[in-house]
C-alpha cells in the first residue's frame, strides 16, 4: 500500500528536502503547500492519507490549518512539526489532538515509523483482507463453472474436512484434495483460472504462496 502525503512548510528548501526524505522511504508526495490556507485546500482537493504541517507559517499557520482540517474530517491523520512550543500553542494542540507531534530538529526515521504506523493497516487486518480476497476469488472462479460446482465444493469441504470456503486460505491442502476429487484431470485448468483471477487483483506474496500450495 502506497502512503499518499501532502507536505506544507513556508520554507521551500526545507519542504523540498523533507519531501525527498519521505519519497526515499516510499511515501508518495501528492501535494506541496506553503501556508495553512494551501494546506486546507490541498487536503480537501487531494484527500491524502496524511498531511504534514509546519507550525510556524505566517498569516495562517499550521495550527490554524489543523483546526480547519479537523473540522472537515475529525479522523484526518495530521502530523505537526513544531520549532518552538508556546503555551498558547500547546493548549490548542491539546484540544485538537494532532495524530503525532514532532519537535525540530526532527528524527526522520522516527517520523517514517510513526507515519507507517498511523497510515497502514495492522498486520491482522491485512491478513483478513488477504483471506477475504482469496475467498472471493475462489467463489467467483467456481461460479464460472456453474452454481452446482460451487455447491459441490462447499459440501465436500464441510463433509470431508469440516471447513468452509472461508477457511481455504489456511487450509489449501484440503481445497486441493476436494478440487482434485471433483474435477480430476480438469484440476489444472481450474488452478490456472484461479491464478488468472488472482492476478487481476493482486501480485502480492500471499497469493503466490497460496497458489504454490495448490500446485504442490
Residue 54 CA to residue 164 CA, distance in Å, equals: 51
Q: How many CA atoms lie within 13 A of 84 on its CB side?
A: 2
Looking at the fold, whether 110 and 191 belong to one and the same domain comes out as no
Q: Say whether both 104 and 87 belong to one domain.
A: yes
CATH code assigned at 146: 1.10.1200.200
| Mean pLDDT, rounded, for 136-154 | 90
Residue pLDDT, tens place only, 55-103 = 878 778 888 899 999 999 999 999 998 877 666 666 777 788 899 999 8
Buried b (16+ CB within 10 A) or exposed e, 89-115: beeebeebebbbbbeeeeeeeebbebb
Whether residue 98 is found in the same domain as residue 142: no
Does the pLDDT value for residue 203 go beyond 80? no
The pLDDT value given to residue 123: 61
Structure confidence at residue 89 (pLDDT): 65
Assess whether 180 and 90 both reside in one domain.
no
What pLDDT does residue 30 have?
96
Same domain for 110 and 20, yes or no, is yes
Q: Where among 69, 99, 119 does a domain terminate?
A: 119
Peptide bond between residue 194 and the one before it cis (omega within 30 degrees of 0)? no
Q: Identify whether residues 43 and 132 lie together within a single domain.
A: no
Residue 212's pLDDT band (cuts 50, 70, 90): confident
Containing structural domain, residue 150: 123-215
- Report the number of distinct structural domains present in the chain: 2
Beta bridge pairs of residue 8: 33, 53
What is the overall mean pLDDT for the chain?
Answer: 86
Q: Is the dihedral of CA 97, 103, 104, 105 positive or negative?
A: negative
Assess whether 114 and 27 both reside in one domain: yes
Instruction: Please state, in angstroms and rounded to a whole number, the distance separating the CA atoms of residues 61 and 33.
Output: 12
What is the 3-state secondary structure of 188-210?
HHHHHHHHHHHHCCCCCHHHHHH
Distance (Å, whole) CA 105 – CA 70 = 26
Co-location of 36 and 113 in the same domain: yes
Same domain, 47 and 110: yes
Domain boundary among 119, 148, 182: 119
Q: pLDDT tens digits for 109-121?
A: 899 999 998 987 6
Contact 204, 133 (CB under 8 A): no
Quick check: 206 pLDDT over 70? Answer: no
More confident residue, 112 or 199: 112
Q: Is the pLDDT of residue 31 over 80?
A: yes
Range scoring the smallest mean pLDDT among 23-27, 129-133, 192-196, 205-209: 205-209
Mark which of 119, 148, 183 sits at the end of a domain. Answer: 119
Amino acid at each position: 500500500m502506497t502512503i499518499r502525503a501532502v507536505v506544507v512548510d513556508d520554507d521551500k528548501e526545507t519542504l523540498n528536502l523533507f519531501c525527498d526524505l519521505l519519497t526515499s522511504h516510499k511515501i508518495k508526495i501528492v501535494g506541496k503547500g506553503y501556508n495553512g490556507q494551501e494546506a486546507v485546500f490541498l487536503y480537501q482537493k487531494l484527500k491524502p492519507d496524511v498531511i504534514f504541517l509546519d507550525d510556524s507559517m505566517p498569516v495562517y499557520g499550521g495550527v490554524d490549518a489543523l483546526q480547519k482540517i479537523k473540522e472537515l474530517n475529525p479522523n484526518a491523520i495530521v502530523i505537526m512539526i513544531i520549532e518552538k512550543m508556546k503555551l498558547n500553542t500547546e493548549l490548542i494542540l491539546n484540544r485538537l489532538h494532532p495524530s503525532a507531534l514532532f519537535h525540530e530538529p526532527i528524527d526522520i526515521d522516527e517520523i517514517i515509523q510513526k507515519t507507517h504506523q498511523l497510515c497502514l493497516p495492522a498486520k491482522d487486518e491485512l491478513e483478513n483482507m488477504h483471506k477475504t480476497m482469496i475467498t472471493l476469488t475462489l467463489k467467483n472462479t467456481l461460479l464460472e463453472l456453474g452454481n452446482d460446482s460451487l455447491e459441490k465444493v462447499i459440501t465436500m469441504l464441510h463433509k470431508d474436512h469440516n471447513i468452509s470456503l472461508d477457511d481455504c486460505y489456511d487450509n489449501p491442502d484440503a481445497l486441493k484434495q476436494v478440487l482434485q476429487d471433483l474435477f480430476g484431470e480438469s484440476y489444472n485448468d481450474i488452478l490456472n483460472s484461479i491464478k488468472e483471477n488472482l492476478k487481476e487483483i493482486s501480485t502480492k506474496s500471499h497469493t503466490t504462496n497460496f497458489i504454490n500450495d495448490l500446485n504442490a
